[in-house]
Every structure is written in C-alpha cells, then in structure tokens.
Amino acid sequence: MKNNWFITGRVISGAQKASYFTNIPWVQEQCLEKLGFRPYPGTLNIEVCEGSSRALLELRKRKGIVLNSPDEETCSASALPARVELLECAIIIPPESVNIHGRNILEILAPVKLKDALGVRDGDILTVLVDLAN
C-alpha cells in the first residue's frame, strides 16, 4: 500500500483537445504496449482538492512510464498507472511547456469514456488510486 497514493478531486470539463493527442497512432500503440490499453479519445479531468494538492505536486516529479513521440510535431509525455473505482486507467503528465491546464488539474486516460462508465458529471468528486510501484 506504500506505493499507492490517493488523490481526490472534482470532475471538470477540459479544453476538448485531449482527443487529438489520444488518437495519434503512436500514442495508441504505446499506451497499449506500456499501459495495457488503447485510450478512449479524450481524458477525464479532475480539479484536485486542496488536501491532495501536495500529492499531485509530488506526482508531477515522477518520471512514470514515458510515451515517446517519434517526431517533433507532437510532444512526449509520461503516464502513471492508476485506478478509479475498479477501472484501470493512467494519469497523463504532459511536459510543463505544453500543459494547457492549471497545475491543480489531473488528466486521466482510460480505455473507456470514464464519465459514462462511472456515471459521473462535472462537479462530482472522485478519488484516484495512483500506483507508484511502476
């Protein structure tokens, strides 16, 4: 349990730009190879609650599983395996230079549309279990 962190936040709408990144063929392939799933086009965003903000800052320092871009048109990113309820997912950590969200926003990749699978909507509270053992 020492290698698992819990982060709690409020579901929010994103910038509607993650579907572009998650649909790139190399992202799809590397997620399948390294995370065990092809991501649904888009991410679930949560605004991290104050009580979890320190943990989020620490997570951003982790190298995680690197998703390497094969070209200069798109950026590489890192991911940390996670789980929301019983659903396997991953926290995506873009480079600081291209992060379009505030530092308190967590983006979650999953093989399904998490809002639908979890039955949540903007404003609902979720807790994400992040696996730091990888």
- The DSSP code sequence of 39-52 is PPSS-EEEEE-GGG
Residues in CB range of 57: below 8 A, 6 or more apart? 103
Q: Is the pLDDT of residue 132 over 70?
A: yes
CB 75 within 8 A of CB 99: no
User: Based on the number of CB atoms within 10 Å of its own CB, is 102 exposed (0-12), middle (13-18) or buried (19 or more)?
Assistant: exposed
CB 51 within 8 A of CB 84: no
Q: Is the pLDDT of residue 73 over 50?
A: yes
- And the tokens for 2? 């020492």
What's the number of domains the chain is made of? 1
In whole angstroms, give the CA distance from residue 23 to residue 128: 23
Q: Residue 108 half-sphere exposure, CB side, CA atoms within 13 Å?
A: 32
CATH code at position 76: 2.40.30.30
Beta bridge partners of 87: 84
Does the model's pTM come out above 0.85?
A: no
- And the tokens for 87? 């659903």
Mean pLDDT lowest among 21-30, 73-82, 115-124: 73-82
Q: The domain containing residue 99 runs over which residues?
A: 4-131
